[in-house]
Chain A
């Protein structure tokens, strides 16, 4: 006997073969896969299976225990229900995404170590976003994108936490983790993002209403519940979760009362319900954990039912705002009835499953001696009744008749809803089908006590009275409920502005810097250099050259006026002397005689005066 076949495999294989099948076979596969996936769950033996060694890391794909099994079961079941509900659809891709999504959720639930958990976690994120996109509303794409962003953010936080954890402890197995420190903190944050925890919860009411009618079932089921599963697994008894959970519960509730969009209202409701579970995990007692798990499972069922009901309304009418709807009870009686079953379940009306699980959580809070927590949770239960079970159906199914020409939805939808309703009721009256499979089956919890009944009825009646008193006030309004998504939408816009503004400027700046700060000054400098070269250096050279030529003028002048003048003067003197001599050449003997005499006289005198020196000179010359 095979001990272990990973149920996610069915989904993945299904997703893989789906595109290649014709319509009949495809529908068969659609229904068959979730059913088939239940089989291995039945045969699964508890323990660790499917250990894979990748890159030196042990990946545990199959840790089978009560906690994982019970989630897996419900995933299979709701998968089947969802497939039935969406049976009529001809689209393939949505189903592929749904299968991958479901497979991811399955995988995450069975993941025994943090790596494989993260692996499936991411698969979930990336497949679920397609479901939102397949919604086909104008806002789907944007909402899906935001959804994906936030989930990626949560995912990376988780990854960060995982890494820190693994590095710090050297242990990658997924068990209880201390919520303090970076590792725990980041992982907790990552889980809470998926659980719709504040302040990043806004993805939930933002994205879920934009999914397709059928797709929303899957959405409402997997992401948050896997998150609850991981919280239960990882952070049982983390004190902080109580406060987070309470906040979620009340905040979600508050928003439901204000909300007009019917699926958005339900989405807030999911937050509120998950808040219960988170609180329970925070309380951390065995009962509380049981309650959390039970409530998660119930929630999957009744929330699926509610979503299916409203989905049917939307599917038939094409309208999604409470103000536009009304009086549908006459034309869609089955839908209305089934919806009411879901409504009763969620608000904890006895004999419906919510009664059990909510009771478990509230009593665990009481047992933990947390009166305020108990009180607030109780209050929230009445609020739930008020909004989901009374206000919304009243406005949609009763209320002012808008005379919409619709009928009940196609049978497969009815069947899907019915199946869910049956489960709700069945688990409400026979809770041990559930409680036996809870992680702590030994814990005794008796839901059907008198006090529980009484308290619950009181609460519900109070809520009913309030509703009747304020029925007019609770008429739907055209509201725009502000939520934290406003912040991150604005932040997104702002961020894009930032990206388009300063960052772009920075980027342009970098590019411009090269032009302006490097190229342009270089060009400028080059021009400067050019000027320097021609204007200064070359000019100096030319000036020197000119100076040299100026010098040549000078020397020319010198030559002309000094050197030549000297020679000329000598010439002139010579000339004059020659003239004199010529004049002396009189031919007159007298004159000659005179000259001879004077000459002799001079010579003699010279001889007399210089005779000695001359003699010495002559001697020296010799």
Chain B
């Protein structure tokens, strides 16, 4: 019951803060709402015995990425526009709702829906084990791991190149 209460709390707030993320006019607020979302998602991860992921979520997302966003936001010094919503908002909302409903209908029909987890409890207990993740990461997913590393490197370099301020003559 506690578990479900926590779940409800995290789930509801995740959704709400998600809506706020896209709903606030000011980008700052949006950023903060996003932060909220990420944190609550981390809460969900914990409920799912994924402590390591939750930790990473908080550290990387909330700590690093979001700060980066905030920095940029600050840097840019954006004004809050009057019409922050796009013209196609109603179309998008309509399709959003339709798609949501469709997906949900699909989910309800799905075979795994409302079935108990197939995993045993000891396996579940082992899920949060970082060592397990590490083993898996460096054995089974070594190559993706390296690739991700390369991606990060590329992203860093790319960001640098992009963000570098060229002189007028170079541009």
Contacts and interface: CB of A to CB of B under 8 A. Distances in A.
Interface of A: 590-591, 594, 597-598, 601, 605
B105 to A, nearest CB: 10
Given A597-B95, A598-B95, 13 more contacts: A590-B86, A590-B88, A591-B88, A594-B88, A594-B91, A594-B92, A594-B95, A597-B99, A601-B95, A601-B98, A601-B99, A601-B102, A605-B102
A598 B98 CA distance: 11
Interface of A is mostly: helix
A596 to B, nearest CB: 11
6 contacts: A590-B88, A594-B91, A594-B92, A594-B95, A597-B99, A598-B95
Contacts of B86: 590
Contacts of B95: 594, 597-598, 601
A597 B96 CA distance: 10
Interface string B89-132: 00110010011001000000000000000000000000000000
B160 to A, nearest CB: 24
A597 B92 CA distance: 9
A591 B89 CA distance: 11
A285 to B, nearest CB: 163
Interface of B: 86, 88, 91-92, 95, 98-99, 102
A263 B83 CA distance: 166
B102 to A, nearest CB: 8
Nearest to B87: A590
Contacts, number: 15
A604 B104 CA distance: 14
Contacts of B98: 601
Nearest to A598: B95
> Which 10 residue pairs of A and B lie closest in terms of their CB atoms, listed nearest first?
A590-B86, A594-B88, A601-B99, A590-B88, A597-B95, A598-B95, A594-B92, A594-B91, A601-B95, A591-B88
A591 B99 CA distance: 17
B109 to A, nearest CB: 11
B159 to A, nearest CB: 20
A75 to B, nearest CB: 159
Contacts of A590: 86, 88
A182 to B, nearest CB: 136
A546 to B, nearest CB: 61
A321 to B, nearest CB: 154
A591 B87 CA distance: 10
A605 B86 CA distance: 26
Contacts of B102: 601, 605
Nearest to B86: A590
Nearest to A597: B95
A605 B106 CA distance: 11
A594 B92 CA distance: 7
A605 to B, nearest CB: 8
Contacts of A591: 88
A254 to B, nearest CB: 154
A302 to B, nearest CB: 166
Nearest to B88: A594
A591 B91 CA distance: 11
Nearest to A594: B88
A202 B82 CA distance: 159
B88 to A, nearest CB: 6
A591 B102 CA distance: 22
A194 to B, nearest CB: 147
Nearest to B106: A608
Nearest to B92: A594
A601 B98 CA distance: 10
Nearest to B98: A601
A590 B91 CA distance: 12
A91 to B, nearest CB: 153
A84 to B, nearest CB: 166
B83 to A, nearest CB: 13
A447 B143 CA distance: 197
A411 to B, nearest CB: 171
Nearest to B91: A594
Nearest to A600: B99
B108 to A, nearest CB: 14
Contacts of A605: 102
Contacts of B91: 594
Nearest to A605: B102
B107 to A, nearest CB: 14
B70 to A, nearest CB: 24
A130 B95 CA distance: 147
B13 to A, nearest CB: 27
A605 B101 CA distance: 13
Contacts of A601: 95, 98-99, 102
B125 to A, nearest CB: 38
A512 to B, nearest CB: 106
Nearest to B96: A597
A601 B95 CA distance: 9
Contacts of B92: 594
A34 B95 CA distance: 164
Contacts of A594: 88, 91-92, 95
A224 B91 CA distance: 153
A599 to B, nearest CB: 11
B130 to A, nearest CB: 38
B124 to A, nearest CB: 33
A602 to B, nearest CB: 11
A597 B102 CA distance: 14
B22 to A, nearest CB: 13
Nearest to B89: A590
A605 B102 CA distance: 9
Contacts of A597: 95, 99
A590 B86 CA distance: 8
A88 B99 CA distance: 167
A601 B88 CA distance: 17
A594 B94 CA distance: 11
A286 B99 CA distance: 166
A426 to B, nearest CB: 175
A609 to B, nearest CB: 12
A601 B86 CA distance: 20
A601 B102 CA distance: 10
A594 B88 CA distance: 8
A604 to B, nearest CB: 8
Contacts of A598: 95
Contacts of B88: 590-591, 594
A597 B99 CA distance: 10
B84 to A, nearest CB: 13
A590 B92 CA distance: 10
Contacts of B99: 597, 601
A598 B91 CA distance: 10
